[in-house]
Amino acid sequence: MPPSEPQPVKLRDIAEAAGVTIATASRSLNGSYGVNPSTRKRVLEVASRLQYRPNRLARGLVTGRSQIIGLIISDIRNPFFSEVARGVEDAAYSAGCDVVLCNSDLDAEKQNRYIASLMAKRVDGIIMNSVTALRETEQEQLAQSGVPVVLLNKSFALSEFSTVSADNERGGRLAAEHFLRMGHRRLAHLTGPRQHGNLTLRAKGFTQAVREADPATSVAVLHGGHTLAGGYAMALKLFNEKQDVTAIFAANDAVAFGVLKAAMERGLRIPKDVSLIGFDDVDFASIVHPPLTTIRQSKYDIGEAAVSILMRLAKGKDKSPENRVLGVELIERESVRKLN
């Protein structure tokens, strides 16, 4: 008879084989306090010989913790999020947790379904890039569910959520100052939807810095999709309507790549005809032509930080929300030209 379905070995098996009860077996494995060293050694040996794998579902059922954290992002194909995800996963791995991946497309219904599903799995925590798509009651419910939540943007809504984000406002300022320094006076900013927390802050930093430095400088702000396609569309529109603009600040690198594409099609040269700054510094920023000047934020670190906050929250001791802001820096490459 073929051993088709190998019965997984359970605690009882190793207890019997080691000549102890299931309780001491458990204690030995979990390294808790009082167990005779020699007994423990024996149990451990048997366990490894039999390749014992504790059933985490059973353990989770009694402890109430699943060693799983949920990661709800817009789309893993976005290089920004895949880098964040890697940071999350590495940190979670170190902490002995698994991460379940959820792509929400920023859709409220999907987000709600994912949240429900994660809670049903009794996850130890949830990392979400944004909750702005949710209704206030839904946000409140989430905040009060008892499950630790870390957001990847500064929430304008409930302050009960912990957050981790780059210093978006400062990033916007850096872009503005660079353009100004390089002699540009007719600027444009291509950004995403108005509700987007991170992008709104970038826009705010950018426009404010311009206004403070030189009220005469003009800055046209276009809203659109914060994707390559969105950047492409906005750039096309801009090139049609505002032909005097000399410098564009894109809300993120993807949008900047869209600008690059549109410019190439229109026969506009970057930075000769128009200068460009992105935001994120994704891998490809240094590969495209011309290499993109951009605001770097440490995506990996954001993911890592989110997990570290989650772990503190999950420990149960200190439940107070934390808002961590990570630094940004201007990476000068070749997409900005000095005027005059």
Partner DNA sequence: CTGAAAGCGCTAACAG
Partner DNA sequence: CTGTTAGCGCTTTCAG
**Which parts of this chain interact with DNA (CB under 7 A)?**
8, 10-12, 20-24, 26-27, 29-30, 32-37, 39-40, 52, 54-55, 58-59, 61-63
Measure the CA–CA gap between 209 and 315, rounded to whole angstroms.
41
Residue pair 206/218 in contact (Cβ under 8 Å)? The answer is no
Q: Which class for 153: exposed (0-12), middle (13-18), buried (19 or more C-beta within 10 A)?
A: buried
Identity of the residue, 53 or 181, whose beta carbon is nearer to a second copy in the bound complex: 53
Sole window of 86-94, 125-133, 210-218, 240-248 interacting with a second copy (rule: CB under 8 A): 86-94
| Chain CA centroid to CA 184, Å | 33
Measure the CA–CA gap between 96 and 67, rounded to whole angstroms.
7
Partner touching 288 among DNA, a second copy, none, CB below 5 to 8 Å by kind: a second copy
Sequence-distant (6+) residues with CB within 8 A of 213 are 176, 177, 180
Q: Which of 31, 33, 34, 77 binds a second copy (CB under 8 A)?
A: 77
Strand ranges inside 34-148, DSSP E: 68-73, 98-103, 125-128
Identity of the residue, 55 or 286, whose beta carbon is nearer to DNA in the bound complex: 55
Q: Which of 34, 120, 240, 272 binds a second copy (CB under 8 A)?
A: 120
Give the nearest distance from C-beta 71 to a second copy in angstroms: 8
Partner touching 36 among DNA, a second copy, none, CB below 5 to 8 Å by kind: DNA
Identity of the residue, 42 or 261, whose beta carbon is nearer to a second copy in the bound complex: 261
Residue pair 70/123 in contact (Cβ under 8 Å)? The answer is yes
Q: Report which residue type is found at 317.
A: K
User: Binding string, 178-207, against a second copy, x = CB under 8 A?
Assistant: ------------------------------
Parallel/antiparallel/unpaired status of strands 328-331 and 293-297: antiparallel
Partner touching 71 among a second copy, DNA, none, CB below 5 to 8 Å by kind: a second copy
- Residue 311, φ and ψ in degrees, nearest 5: -65, -40
Identity of the residue, 13 or 75, whose beta carbon is nearer to a second copy in the bound complex: 75
Partner touching 27 among DNA, a second copy, none, CB below 5 to 8 Å by kind: DNA
Residue pair 122/64 in contact (Cβ under 8 Å)? The answer is yes
Measure the CA–CA gap between 103 and 245, rounded to whole angstroms.
37
Q: Could you tell me the two tokens for 256?
A: 């900047």
Give the nearest distance from C-beta 260 to a second copy in angstroms: 7
Measure the CA–CA gap between 108 and 134, rounded to whole angstroms.
6
Provide the 3-class DSSP secondary structure of residue 103.
Answer: strand
User: Binding string, 100-119, against a second copy, x = CB under 8 A?
Assistant: xxxx------------xxxx
Q: Which of 42, 122, 266, 312 binds a second copy (CB under 8 A)?
A: 122
- Asked if residue 159 binds a second copy (CB under 8 A), the reply is no
Partner touching 1 among DNA, a second copy, none, CB below 5 to 8 Å by kind: none
Partner touching 66 among DNA, a second copy, none, CB below 5 to 8 Å by kind: a second copy
Residue pair 192/256 in contact (Cβ under 8 Å)? The answer is no
| DSSP track, 264-281 | HHHT--TTTT-EEEEEE-
Comparing C-alpha atoms, which of 230, 252, 218 is closest to residue 328? 252
Residues numbered 245 to 274 that lie near a second copy (CB under 8 A) are: 257, 260-261, 264
Identity of the residue, 30 or 141, whose beta carbon is nearer to DNA in the bound complex: 30
* Contacting positions for a second copy (CB under 8 A): 3-6, 8, 53-58, 60-61, 66, 68, 71, 75-77, 79, 82-83, 85-86, 89-90, 98-103, 116-122, 144-146, 228, 257, 260-261, 264, 283-284, 286-289
